[in-house]
Structure 1
Amino acid sequence: MPEMNMIEAIRDAMDVKMSQDPDVLVFGEDVGYFGGVFRATAGLQEKHGLHRCFDTPISEGGIVGIAIGMAANGLRPVAEIQFADYIYPAYDQIASEAARLRYRSNGDFTAPLTIRTPVGGGIYGGTTHSQSPEALFTHIAGLKTVIPSNPYDAKGLLIAAIEDNDPVLFLEPKRLYNGPFDGDPHAPAKAWRGHKLGDVPAGHYRVEIGEARKLQKGVDVTVLAYGTMVWVAQKVAQDLGIDADIIDLRSLLPLDIEMIEKSVNKTGRCVILHEATRTSGFGAELAAQVQERCFYALEAPILRVTGWDTPYPHAQEWAYFPGPKRVGNALRTVMEA
């Protein structure tokens, strides 16, 4: 299998689907001739033509609105929002139109569209280029939300998203774009730029939406994470010698609650990691579901390690990330309870 970083895997997924299905189109700000600010669409316009991969005006509401219209009329658009921080002008289109189209039309119309967008920090982008707004979208019934942590899953999940008949928000952790990432939150992006991160099969394959991945089997504590935090969890557990059951959620909605429940009932302890702000973050939903389903198995409080409840800092970016120290403290706390 060829080695790819996450950017290459995402690009390959779009290339595979564009080659297989003429109804698949890719568009967004600077995705055509320039190939995207992170180069995720580089070469797609040259290979598939101006009408299959093209640039749009700087109008996120317009990008998503056009995608919904295309999807309702039989196409499978893949729309890029350049940064997740820019997605808010399109929120009404996503929540009120795309997510409800199948229900409101009694199944006469579907919205098979994919919205790709980079999330999280790691590039010193500050408060307008580093947000993690996933919890805002997991609240929307009818919308699927996924976030990969490695190139293999990125390609397989993106192919599954493009083939899905409902709208999918595909979140891409920009700190993992160029890998490898060893879990050190202080590792600058330039230290791993251009390296590879994993083996990725050529051609078509799927990673099913709604199925989590058991990254590491253990009996001491269940760690729930997604995106960049998966790597932090693995590194800290190994450094501390904790036999952790680490689950990479991959899909936030639908959620693989069965795997989570089985794990927590086995370990009796649960730590939840995410980069987004703490209050009303997706970790709160995870904690509620674990408590409801696993209360009598719990031997310690469920702990969350998250970003701070502040606007995203620029100069203090690396202190904002849930790093090894804070994650390690949480693991020790639940183990000692």
Structure 2
Amino acid sequence: MATTASSNPKETHALVDQNKVEKNISSRITKNKVLKWVFFSCTLIGLLVLATLLGDTLIKGIPYLKPSFFTNFSSSMPQMAGIKGALVGTLWLMITIIPISIILGVGTAIYLEEYAHDNAFTSFIKISISNLAGVPSVVFGLLGLTIFVRGMGIESLSLGKSVLAAALTMSLLILPVIIVSSQEAIRAVPKSVREASYGLGGNKWQTIYKIVLPAALPGIMTGFILSLSRALGETAPLILIGIPTILLRLPSSIFDQFQAMPIQIYNWAKMPQEAFQHVASAGIIVLLILLLAMNGLAIFLRNKFSKKY
């Protein structure tokens, strides 16, 4: 009897603990199921909204995607309006942005990660660059208008409403993202790889150029192409620096005026005629195709170089 009496409290405590554990597990499973459906609902709502917008755009825009749409300039008549000037101008803008942003962005990342000393000034620069990534694009438009378009009041430094002025402005917009993504890619390269290069007699620049950059290339290129996609779709900076909405000629150099697709689509969308809304939808489809092609190229390059290195 004494043994039974002494074992009952232990069994009681064990049963209580087991009940608590089962309740706790049951509560966690319930929360997991609820949160799973909440997150699924959020994703589904986003996909439904995206599908609705894409469907509406495709229905309105596909009938206007005719050969004449790609060979005509903008017009006051919707049936004659085309995207030739804006498409060519956007390609000029992209070709000009690429070397500027690659050289400045990757060069800055290499200096900060490989050459700069770890001190308060370097930390301040890194924090400032990270903060610039969240600055609204309108601010970069005002900066580009003051520095590049008007030359800070000095006529000899003014670039006007040219391809180069717009490219420099958009490069300022995407440089923080390129620098941060390039830093992360360079930082991810193991130190042992660098030490092996030094052990074989390579100097610092040879190690960076032949070992570090090839290994970091997938991350650098992915960040760059995604940043370029953002620049391709931005409208506010181009509006602020005064890019024309209608221009019946093509640029022949980076110092000429040009049209851009975001500005052209914006101009069509604000027209009172309903037909121009359909023309704007056709322009949106062309812009989406460019963006999807660039993002697809980013994924392809990332996978290719990831396997190689």
Normalised by the shorter chain, which TM-score bucket? under 0.3
Q: Which has the larger radius of gyration?
A: 2
Give me the TM-score of the superposition, normalised by structure 2: 0.23
Larger RCO (alpha carbons 8 Å, 6+ apart)? 2
Give me the TM-score of the superposition, normalised by structure 1: 0.21
Which structure has more strand as a fraction of its residues?
1
Which structure has more helix as a fraction of its residues?
2
